[in-house]
Structure 1
């Protein structure tokens, strides 16, 4: 099983992360597997378990059951907990050891879809601080390091920072708030093949304009460099940190951003895309991510939150935002459904553009007969098919809120179709499940109201008078053992401080999950009635719901 997990990691995870150098690590890995366990260094042990965890994370539920005869969530829980224990043994909080940091970096990948964004953002901050203590924020050429170590450190640093940027965004924060643009900052990973890197090398080969082993990582860094260029421009205009993001249309020239996007497209075409072969999965993914990234920039530049503050908005502006939102749904679904990209589909959920999905649903609610509405509903159906947790895990605020909005949009769609004498296909399964969830919540709400309206009865205390309160000083050695157990440093907590271990245990894929009282306010009184108020989306509220949710994969 260990050898299988290694191969899965090399095939599924390494091409998209490049946190470790596989040719160098492989001999040490196999030596550790075949040798006595007591001889495995603690840093390598942590790295090995992190590799197992990311390998499991990258697999689907059916594949896990087929290959290992165990459910995906059981395996993921086992290996992520083993990684946490190994990191603790390696004293990761005070480490200056690169393999330990690599293990932590991979662990963040393994848990990012099951950990609440705020908790993940905090843990990512710990990893970034560890990296800073190790000097990774300065390029190795200024520290006198070897070319090999310099390049590996670049890969680890930018994997962490790009992850940090996205996690901040999911928490509703400015992405680039702590960016260092100094002359000695760490350079981008070099676009060369892994076999051109080796520990004894005396100089680093120059980057090549071609598709290499590090193609996807180099491509993402190129797009990040574009975003950082926009940040630099905003700084020069004297804007504060909260105005750096592109979606604040009051503080940037859309035409200027669009010209910059065109320049970026030309650079990506010249350096990478012209060398991509769409018959190769990694190349195809890179091409799709490139198009997706360009559309994300366009969406953020024309973000629908700015439409409410623009007064009268042109038809062309609204159509542009709609078109790019539908494209984002289409491209994201393509990554998750294309058979060629099956081994890389794990990468997609974390980068779903939730705001585009919300805007599509909100537009369909307000204008059910919108051009391409049929296509949009097909993509929404596909999104629910690809992410079943959006139905069975309604404890996540973003799932509950989107489910509510989806019901409103579909109700408007039914009314408009009936009014226009249009034939309706059978109701999609996900709509029927959402309606059942709504009815369950409605019934629970009514039961609570009925219970609260009954007069309170005197409480009956059944106390054994012979029981003497325990003397706090009479603590046994067994009690001390239990009380002294360290709390799991990685155990995620929900927004109320409660244990969220249910993310791993007791999954029920066939039922719509229970939901708490805090989500009642999201629910309409009757999903069958069209919402006539059509109030503008409160984006700050949606960002709060997103920050309090994880984005569990299918």
Structure 2
């Protein structure tokens, strides 16, 4: 080993070649260790490995001594852990994996050009409580879902997955049905081509420059993105993105392929969220054709950066944007698979650990928290609506981003610590994503709670509702649509979670159709559908309908379909039937991606099994429904918006959009 010795006496062992320093300076070397020249200049004297044979024996001896001391330390730690487990009464099972204390650590290799960031805490930070993670899963109090298998196929769904709660569903194996989608127009794949996302560099050789929109189209899409997407998915910063976009267009951006992937996934999200007439005005072609083209372009851009291994922040952001698009399209199988890849990439990049552990600047901490925050929100959606298991690592502790306005940030990785804004109370620019994160954390808490512990589940929901209302929604400006849409999202998401718990409780006690609790659950499901349709229609004037495309109240639809034949009151029949007709009229449209999903096939099956004829809806009943649905909802939906938004919203929304249009930088 080449180390700096503190000995005053130089070593008398001469080397065959001069030292590295003398060779670089081209001066005569006496070939001692250290040589006279390096001693005078106080430089580290090093020789080639081939000339260091005299030190090999001492290096081996030193290495053996270190390994012996390390083994002794590991034996001491193992004895301490064993003593602690005996004191806690924990006896390892025969199938329990032992602690990996005897494995030799791998050496850390740091290249001269790499940047090494170490935690600010003590390097040897051993958590003695980690032995609890080795308790077999059978001994933990965790709800167990259902496994579905057929013809070699196997799928596991969370205990709260809505089809597994419906006894009226005859065959869950319909979830194995593969959805065959048509390839994008002009990009047909041959029999020998490789399907995405397994594209290789040779299969993505097509020039992406030909797939870019024109400069005017790009500017319009970017403008719409920061109007209808960025307020709810603030992964990037508008001012910083404008500077990076200018550098990319000039060809001076440092990572052009990663930024190109971000651009195409931004285009894709924007096109999917805009109404068809707006897309036709921009591109002069139907929306579905434009959407297919940019979906293919986004896939090619992600493949070119090797998104399964890419560890750049923009690469992870582009992947999260694409997963968001898949969830909007209810292509949940692809979305859940790619979400797992994104979670593993984020873990390898250290995004799952709170950046306050490391010497990052406030702005870098903020960007890393934004990425992890959106990944957590997607994880909550996968659990609530698709029955997936959480893909977050157990040791993740990254906190949500600060509840602050975008203008409060100094968007520079060299920003000083004092430039970071405080985590404010009330409504700010980042309130929507942090509220969405709080709902997602609640979903994970419910997934880890015993399904039969209804009191605890209700307490989790009450605590989440109280926290969100007090911290973020205590002073909501009901004339501002960005405020009211947060309230609307919280209504739909938390009401769906509460309906899940109540329906499970009624199923457990096996109530009769005439039971009052069963009737109240049905009415709660109808009211949830009314709120969903109301918010979806109201915010479509701002092109914010996409927010509710993923939050489809699947369980509420299934409950109404199952209970509709048992209703006797004419008003209840008319009310429930109207919601069923409206939902199926919207989502049965072939242009809607929901209509091609296996879960929608389950609802179609339920509707076909309604054997009791339903009497036609009267005009009087529909008139009463109009007046009720546009005023307020019950306590199940928590907050009343307080205003009738149907008549006055469009004009106010248009004025709101025009007011913000002047602040766009491009």
Segments of structure 1 that go 5 or more residues without pairing to the other structure are 235-242, 426-554
Deviations 1:459-495 (A, max 9, x none): xxxxxxxxxxxxxxxxxxxxxxxxxxxxxxxxxxxxx
Segments of structure 2 that go 5 or more residues without pairing to the other structure are 1-216, 621-666
Displacement of 1:39 in angstroms is 8.6
1:397 aligns with 2:598: yes
1:215 aligns with 2:431: yes
Displacement of 1:282 in angstroms is 1.5
Deviations 1:520-547 (A, max 9, x none): xxxxxxxxxxxxxxxxxxxxxxxxxxxx
- The residue aligned with 2:498 is 298
Aligned length: 400
SS at match of 2:280: helix
- The residue aligned with 1:476 is none
Q: Higher relative contact order at CA 8 Å, sep ≥6: structure 1 or structure 2?
A: 1
Deviations 1:65-116 (A, max 9, x none): 2332222221112112112211222222221100111111111122323363
- The residue aligned with 1:122 is 337
Q: Is the 8 A contact 1:368 1:412 kept in 2?
A: no
- The residue aligned with 1:382 is 582
Candidates 77, 102, 114, aligned match of 2:292: 77
- The residue aligned with 1:258 is 458
SS at match of 1:29: helix
- The residue aligned with 1:54 is 269
Q: Which moved more, 1:265-274 or 1:368-377?
A: 368-377
Query: 1:116/1:261 Cα in 2 relative to 1: closer, same or farther (>3 Å)?
Result: closer
Aligned mates of 1:186, 1:332 — CA distance in 2: 32
Q: Is the 8 A contact 2:221 2:267 kept in 1?
A: yes
Aligned mates of 2:384, 2:445 — CA distance in 1: 18
- The residue aligned with 2:374 is 159
Query: 1:103/1:158 Cα in 2 relative to 1: closer, same or farther (>3 Å)?
Result: same
Displacement of 1:178 in angstroms is 4.7
Deviations 1:293-320 (A, max 9, x none): 33123112112x5433313468332133
- The residue aligned with 1:274 is 474
Displacement of 1:162 in angstroms is 2.1
- The residue aligned with 1:413 is 614
SS at match of 1:412: coil
Candidates 105, 120, 134, aligned match of 2:349: 134
Aligned mates of 2:432, 2:542 — CA distance in 1: 16
SS at match of 1:226: helix
1:196 aligns with 2:408: yes
Q: Which moved more, 1:45-54 or 1:58-67?
A: 58-67
- The residue aligned with 1:471 is none
Deviations 1:44-73 (A, max 9, x none): 111111111111111122321233222222
Q: Which moved more, 1:355-364 or 1:368-377?
A: 368-377
SS at match of 2:600: helix
Deviations 1:126-174 (A, max 9, x none): 1111111101110111132221111111111121122123224444334
SS at match of 1:274: coil
- RMSD of aligned alpha carbons: 3.0
Q: Is the 8 A contact 1:128 1:161 kept in 2?
A: no
List aligned pairs for 1:282-293, cutoff 5 A: 282-293=482-493
Aligned mates of 2:254, 2:399 — CA distance in 1: 36
Q: Is the 8 A contact 1:54 1:106 kept in 2?
A: yes
1:325 aligns with 2:520: no
Candidates 394, 399, 403, aligned match of 1:187: 399
Q: Is the 8 A contact 2:369 2:401 kept in 1?
A: yes
Q: Which moved more, 1:157-166 or 1:118-127?
A: 157-166
Candidates 510, 521, 528, aligned match of 1:311: 510
- The residue aligned with 1:68 is 283
Query: 1:340/1:171 Cα in 2 relative to 1: closer, same or farther (>3 Å)?
Result: closer
SS at match of 2:579: helix
**Bigger Rg, which one:** 2
Displacement of 1:258 in angstroms is 2.9
Q: Is the 8 A contact 2:499 2:521 kept in 1?
A: yes
Displacement of 1:403 in angstroms is 2.9
List aligned pairs for 1:449-460, cutoff 5 A: none
Query: 1:391/1:326 Cα in 2 relative to 1: closer, same or farther (>3 Å)?
Result: farther
TM-score (norm 2): 0.55
Q: Is the 8 A contact 1:336 1:342 kept in 2?
A: no
Candidates 294, 298, 310, aligned match of 1:95: 310
Aligned mates of 1:404, 1:226 — CA distance in 2: 31
SS at match of 1:17: coil
